[in-house]
Structure 1
Amino acid sequence: MTNTSTPVVLVTGTSTGIGLSTAVALAGAGWTTIATMRDLGKADALRSAASEAGVALDIRSLDVTDHDDVISTIDAVIAEHGHLDAVINNAGAGALGTIEAMGLDRVRAAMEVNFFGVVDVTKTALPHLRASRGRLVTVTSVGGVVGQPFNEVYCAAKFAVEGFMESLHPVMKNLGVAVSVVEPGPVMTEFVANSDADREALVTGADDDYLPAIDSYLARTRQAFAPGNAQTPDDVAAVILSTLTSDDPAFRVQTSAAATAFTAIKLADLDGSAVTGLTAGWVATA
């Protein structure tokens, strides 16, 4: 990056989790941090975290599925700061469920936030990132590499993001912009606390034939997200900061050794049998 003034970064989806921790970490590392979220009514946790860390954040509303909002937000950042040095695409939403029981409106909504929102923010920011020779970091998931049961729509969106960014990477490298994707594995969330609600959502509208596989999947996922197995949002934020500030960042970055081992199964799996053999065990009923 060529700017000698304080670098400016825009982060999407900062009301909770990875986005919240990333915004605070970047501000602590000296970045002017534009922390955005769809609903500013949910900003209290971010404000509290920033106050506890002793950092200042510029918190703004941004709905990544609203094209006009994306344009006006990035235009305002440029008008106020004169440059934009990095974007962290983090905003996203889960879409747990079996496709047979999921309405297409829900499928489209998940694609809007998880894929088209990333595309729109990226497209709008790229002229400014080229001017600053900046960085574009997108939080995907190990689910952007390995398709996972009952996450058909979520994984499809993350696969699309990975393909989009992988295709964009060499073009932007020629133009001075470093493009990376960061792939977390399980991160401590409210999954275990909400597991009953997740089961209810999964079985709603599903044929009874699905129930044994659903319970097998949820049991495996509870274990994966348990303390000691899952990372914290702060762990992931540290990897994002390291990627953002690296002299020569990799395109694909996993956030833990477990995530690296998991994605390696797919990346070395030429015929697909290793991945499908692995995930079949997640829904085994005998």
Structure 2
Amino acid sequence: MEDQNKKVALITGSSMGIGLSLARLMAQQGVRVVLNARNAGRLQHTLQRFRDAGHEATAIAGDVSKEADCQAIVEQAIARFGRLDILVNNAGISAEGTLAELSPEVLRKVMEVNYFGSVFMTQAALPHLRQQRGSVLFISSAAAIRGIPGHAAYSASKMALTALAESLKIELHRDQVHVGIAYVGFTENDPQKVIYDRDGRIIPQPDRSFIKQEPVEQVAKRLYRIIENRTFKSVFTPLGKLNALMNRLAPAVGEVILRRNFFKS
């Protein structure tokens, strides 16, 4: 018999990577979890693993870049569990290439998933989050602290989440809904992670083993603490914190470093 007083969390992009790790951690803490991803087959496989572990979970496939899908996902989550306390906007896609190289299709798709996906899902969830005085968490990136050359589309989409979170925090103040945003650094990627190339083709995430990466389980723990403590902004990893500090105190130096690294590559 389900405990209807248990919190319910909807985590987008939770069939793999950070979303999956956070969903697993929250389920272990007794939170009922709504898994979401576009790949229905992979999503059902993930759900079965949760159920085998004895967790209360459901899975709802859908594309967050489509407003109708977001509405349907939230409606099905409410139909299944009767409430929604936590929304984690984690679903995202990256693209590599300079602005001059990227096709309009790639630029549009990155913004649709990373920014509008968070907007549409949050709009759909807000009435229920208000009712529970819940939390909405946006998963941003260190690339949102300062634009990264060769990743202009991704940086712009993640920077937009800062303005969204800052505005929403004030709008929801009287409703006592927690708004948080996490600037995640380099994280160990799921082997199945893909990105767009400059022409819009889906390709495997390039190898980043030459950069120190934070274990995905550690990232999930940090994200969970943001929700638990109702923190607003949090920058992850020493490199991310250094980036934020440099951007505030010595932006010209940061630009020189990025420029040298970009042209060296």
Alignment correspondent of 1:186 = 186
Alignment correspondent of 1:233 = 216
Alignment correspondent of 2:241 = 260
For 1:115 and 1:268, locate their aligned partners in 2 and report how far apart those are by CA, in whole Å: 28
CA deviation after TM superposition for structure 1 residue 125, in Å: 0.9
Is contact 1:70-1:121 (8 Å) kept?
yes
For 1:50 and 1:96, locate their aligned partners in 2 and report how far apart those are by CA, in whole Å: 33
CA shift in 2, pair 1:47/1:126, >3 Å = closer
SS in 1 for 2:91: coil
For 1:282 and 1:71, locate their aligned partners in 2 and report how far apart those are by CA, in whole Å: 43
CA deviation after TM superposition for structure 1 residue 173, in Å: 2.2
Give the residue type in structure 2 aligned to 1:274. V
Which of 213, 230, 244 pairs up with 2:227?
A: 244
CA deviation after TM superposition for structure 1 residue 43, in Å: 2.5
Give the residue type in structure 2 aligned to 1:273. A
Give the residue type in structure 2 aligned to 1:8. V
* Consecutive unaligned residues in structure 2, runs of 5 or more: 200-205
CA deviation after TM superposition for structure 1 residue 275, in Å: 2.7
Is contact 1:93-1:110 (8 Å) kept?
yes
Is contact 2:27-2:56 (8 Å) kept?
yes
**Residue identity (%):** 25
Give the structure with the larger strand fraction: 2
CA deviation after TM superposition for structure 1 residue 254, in Å: 2.1
SS in 2 for 1:137: strand
Give the residue type in structure 2 aligned to 1:277. V
CA deviation after TM superposition for structure 1 residue 81, in Å: 2.5
| CA offsets 1:79-122 (integer angstroms, 9 cap, x no match) | 33332111000000011111211110111011100111111001
Alignment correspondent of 1:212 = none
Give the residue type in structure 2 aligned to 1:230. Q
| CA offsets 1:195-245 (integer angstroms, 9 cap, x no match) | xx99x946x8xxxxxxxxxxxxx89x5421xxxx20121111111111111
Give the structure with the larger helix fraction: 1
Alignment correspondent of 2:210 = 223
Is contact 1:24-1:49 (8 Å) kept?
no
Compare 237-246 and 149-158 and name the one that shifted more: 237-246
Is contact 1:22-1:237 (8 Å) kept?
yes
CA shift in 2, pair 1:106/1:50, >3 Å = same
For 1:136 and 1:115, locate their aligned partners in 2 and report how far apart those are by CA, in whole Å: 14
Is contact 2:51-2:57 (8 Å) kept?
no
Is 2:136 the counterpart of 1:136? yes
Is contact 2:7-2:84 (8 Å) kept?
yes
Alignment correspondent of 2:261 = 282
CA shift in 2, pair 1:262/1:51, >3 Å = farther
CA deviation after TM superposition for structure 1 residue 159, in Å: 0.5
Q: Which has the larger radius of gyration?
A: 1
Give the residue type in structure 2 aligned to 1:281. R
For 2:52 and 2:217, locate their aligned partners in 1 and report how far apart those are by CA, in whole Å: 14
For 2:187 and 2:52, locate their aligned partners in 1 and report how far apart those are by CA, in whole Å: 22
Give the residue type in structure 1 aligned to 2:221. A
Compare 57-66 and 275-284 and name the one that shifted more: 275-284
SS in 2 for 1:59: strand
CA shift in 2, pair 1:190/1:135, >3 Å = closer
| CA offsets 1:168-219 (integer angstroms, 9 cap, x no match) | 112212321110001111011268x99xx99x946x8xxxxxxxxxxxxx89
For 2:48 and 2:217, locate their aligned partners in 1 and report how far apart those are by CA, in whole Å: 15
**Would you say how many aligned residue pairs link Structure 1 and Structure 2?**
257
For 1:150 and 1:86, locate their aligned partners in 2 and report how far apart those are by CA, in whole Å: 34
CA shift in 2, pair 1:131/1:158, >3 Å = same
For 2:15 and 2:249, locate their aligned partners in 1 and report how far apart those are by CA, in whole Å: 36
Two-structure CA RMSD over aligned residues (Å): 2.7
CA shift in 2, pair 1:142/1:45, >3 Å = farther
Alignment correspondent of 1:168 = 168
